[in-house]
Structure 1
Amino acid sequence: MKLLTLNTHSLIEPDYEAKREIFVNFIAVEQPEVFALQEVNQTAAAPLLGDAPAGYYPCPGNRVPLKADNHAAAVARMLEQRGVHYYWSWLPAKVGYDIYDEGEAVFSRAPITAAENLLLSKTNDYSNWKTRRTLGVCAGDVWYYTVHMGWWKDEEEPFAAQWETLSQAAGAKQTAFLLGDFNSEADVRGEGYDLILRSGWQDTYRLAQQRDDGYTVVQAIDGWRDAPDAAAKKRIDQIWCSRAAAVKSSRVVFNGLQEPQVSDHAGILIEL
């Protein structure tokens, strides 16, 4: 069983369509059971999509319709054209870069039987760029949450409060995976990464029998440009499990080595 996470940057990314093609081709070959995406955008002013690609599971409480250039819908349709079927859901959280509906998506080979729309931030203002939501889906008897957290030292929307909400909700499930951009550097002690560990969650990278260096960001990116270590390598994209799991391998993908870069983040692919 394979799981993948990637902060896509989607419509913001230079050469977006070419990079989307690379990503979809990779998914069509690897066919992970579940993949979770962050910064899954659509242009707010774009026309409505019309018919959603097959397998779409609307998330409860999402009042933003799919638009014609929605990144998740494009990925779903391109996979379908390659004969690869996924069930999928998309949840916008806020306005991004002033022009996008910015959200998250989860794709599953198994049917999605339930979805959860979880507000993590104190603010619920769609126009506020610090608003944070998490999309969770149930496939089989396991829950998968796509995560894009705030920062540890943010005075308005600190990581710790968002983590408490997420941990309580996801931790109540029998088995849950958290996949995404945690904006918490795994090499920094006493902050978000250590808080997750203390909460009893298992880092699949540390459980993996085979693993690489794990770094998914190797240059300054949005949200980190003012940090003292802005250009340092960071392992901020992670996959966590609510219980210990047998992890065969954890590998960084789309970092320009085995696969081309498709975003300002690399992704993580694990095999259970």
Structure 2
Amino acid sequence: MKLLTLNTHSLIEPDYEAKRDAFVDFIAEEQPDVFALQEVNQTASAPLLGDVPAGYYPCPGNMVLLKADNHAAAVARMLEERGVHYHWSWLPAKIGYDRYDEGMAVFSRAPITAAENLLLSKSRDYKYWKTRRALGICAGDVWYYAVHLGWWKDEEEPFAAQWEKLSQAAGAKQTAFLLGDFNSEANVRGEGYDLILSSGWQDTYRLAQQRDEGYTVVQAIDGWRDAPDAAAKKRIDQIWCSKVLAVKSSRVVFNGLREPQVSDHAGILIEL
């Protein structure tokens, strides 16, 4: 079983269409069982999407309709054209960069039987850039959450409070995976990464029999530019599980080595 996570940057990314094509080619070849995406955008002012690709599972409480340039819908359609079918769901959390409906998507080879719209931030203001949500989907008897959390030292919307809500909701499921951009560096002690560990969650990178350095950010990016170590390598994109599992491998993808860079983040691909 393969799982993948990637912060896509989607419509904001330079050469977006070429990078989207490269991503879809990779998915069509690897066919991970589940992949979770963050910063999945659509232009808020764009016309509505006329023909929704097959497999779409609307998330409860999502009042934002799919628009013509929705990144997740484009990926679903391009995969379908390659003969690769996924079930998928999309949930926007906020207006990003003053012009995009920005959120998360989860794609599953197995049918989606339920979805969860989980508010993590204190704010529920759709126009506030710090508003955070998680998208959960159930496939089989396992839940998969696309996650994009805030920062440890944010006084308005601290990581710890958001983690508490996420851990409580996802931890109540029989088996759950958390896939995403945690904005919490794995090599920094006493902050978000250690809090997740102490909550009983398992970092699949640490469980993996084979693994690389794991770094998914190797330059200054939005949200980290004011940090003292802005340009340092970081392992902030992670895949966690609610229980100990046998993990065969964990490797960084889309970092310009075996695959091209398609975002300001690299992704993580694990095999169970």
Is TM (by shorter chain) over 0.5?
Answer: yes
Which AA in structure 2 matches 1:255? N
| Residue 212 (structure 1) shift | 0.0
Counterpart Cα distance in 2 of 1:130 and 1:181: 14
Who is 1:35 aligned against? 35
Residues 222-259 of structure 1: CA distance to partner in whole angstroms, max 9, x if unpaired?
00000000000000000000000100000000000000
SS at match of 1:23: helix
Who is 1:181 aligned against? 181
Counterpart Cα distance in 2 of 1:188 and 1:249: 23
Who is 1:158 aligned against? 158
SS at match of 1:209: strand
Who is 2:134 aligned against? 134
| Residue 50 (structure 1) shift | 1.6
Who is 1:19 aligned against? 19
Which AA in structure 2 matches 1:124? R
Counterpart Cα distance in 1 of 2:260 and 2:123: 37
Counterpart Cα distance in 1 of 2:17 and 2:141: 35
Q: Does 1:92 align with 2:92?
A: yes
Who is 2:208 aligned against? 208
Q: Does 1:217 align with 2:217?
A: yes
SS at match of 2:150: coil
| Residue 51 (structure 1) shift | 2.1
Residues 52-86 of structure 1: CA distance to partner in whole angstroms, max 9, x if unpaired?
10000000000000000000000000000000000
Q: In the comparison of the two structures, how many residue pairs are matched?
A: 272
Off by >3 Å, runs of 4+ in structure 1: none
Counterpart Cα distance in 1 of 2:239 and 2:245: 12
Residues 117-174 of structure 1: CA distance to partner in whole angstroms, max 9, x if unpaired?
0000000000000000000000000000000000000000000000000000000000
SS at match of 1:105: strand
Residues 198-237 of structure 1: CA distance to partner in whole angstroms, max 9, x if unpaired?
0000000000000000000000000000000000000000
Who is 1:59 aligned against? 59
Counterpart Cα distance in 1 of 2:54 and 2:199: 38
Who is 1:193 aligned against? 193
Counterpart Cα distance in 2 of 1:121 and 1:248: 34
- TM-score relative to the length of structure 1: 1.00
SS at match of 1:36: strand
Who is 1:2 aligned against? 2
Which AA in structure 2 matches 1:53? P
Who is 1:172 aligned against? 172
Who is 1:76 aligned against? 76
- TM-score relative to the length of structure 2: 1.00
SS at match of 2:28: helix
Which AA in structure 1 matches 2:85? H
Who is 1:147 aligned against? 147
Unaligned 5+ runs, structure 1: none
Counterpart Cα distance in 2 of 1:55 and 1:93: 21
| Residue 265 (structure 1) shift | 0.0
Residues 16-74 of structure 1: CA distance to partner in whole angstroms, max 9, x if unpaired?
00000000000000000000000000000000002210000000000000000000000
Q: Does 1:266 align with 2:227?
A: no
Question: What is the CA RMSD across the aligned residues, in angstroms?
Answer: 0.2
Who is 1:46 aligned against? 46
Counterpart Cα distance in 1 of 2:17 and 2:172: 39
Counterpart Cα distance in 2 of 1:76 and 1:51: 12
SS at match of 2:38: strand
Counterpart Cα distance in 1 of 2:259 and 2:53: 27
Unaligned 5+ runs, structure 2: none
Counterpart Cα distance in 1 of 2:223 and 2:247: 31
Counterpart Cα distance in 2 of 1:73 and 1:214: 29
SS at match of 1:27: helix
Counterpart Cα distance in 1 of 2:33 and 2:254: 18
| Residue 95 (structure 1) shift | 0.2
